[in-house]
Amino acid sequence: MKFGTVYWVTGLAGSGKTTIGKSFYGKLKDQKPNVIFLDGDTLRGVFGNNAGHSLDDRRELAMSYARLCKMISDQGIDVICATMSLFKEVHKFNRDNIAHYYEVFIECDMDELIRRDQKGIYSKAIKGDMKDVIGVNLPYDKPEDCDLVIDNTVQDRLNEKVGKITELIAKI
């Protein structure tokens, strides 16, 4: 059986994981018809928006995403999953259970994330109007053994950043 590859594109909210993941998907889709793109915000809706935002709730959702990616890749389909899911146990599950797994961490300076604040979550958390925000009042596990780190503190050179992922898979 030929397994698909899972590209786990992870980072904090606003880091650019969806933008980079979608762009990579477009390039990979041109080469391979059996690739899909999953986004954490969309997956949350699929798995139930009623899920909370506590660390345990987020961890449970992240494990659901990981199991879904495994199920799809086991059928020979490549998956690009752009999700926060910054939990060591999820990354370990992926490495231990997904035949072809690559982890890409989209790094971005916290000051820049606060400046971007696309969804208003950081400003609300800093003011105390919102709780359970990863990186502000909830800790996260920064990946220690990811396959690639992309610094996206400056949102430029998208093609170059996606090219780094392409270079990674060329070594496979």
User: Which active-site residues does the annotation give?
Assistant: 85
CA gap 35, 28 in Å, rounded: 7
Contact, 162 vs 22, CB < 8 A? Answer: no
Q: Smallest Cα–Cα separation from 22: which of 8, 2, 44, 38?
A: 38
Q: Smallest Cα–Cα separation from 117: which of 131, 138, 133?
A: 133
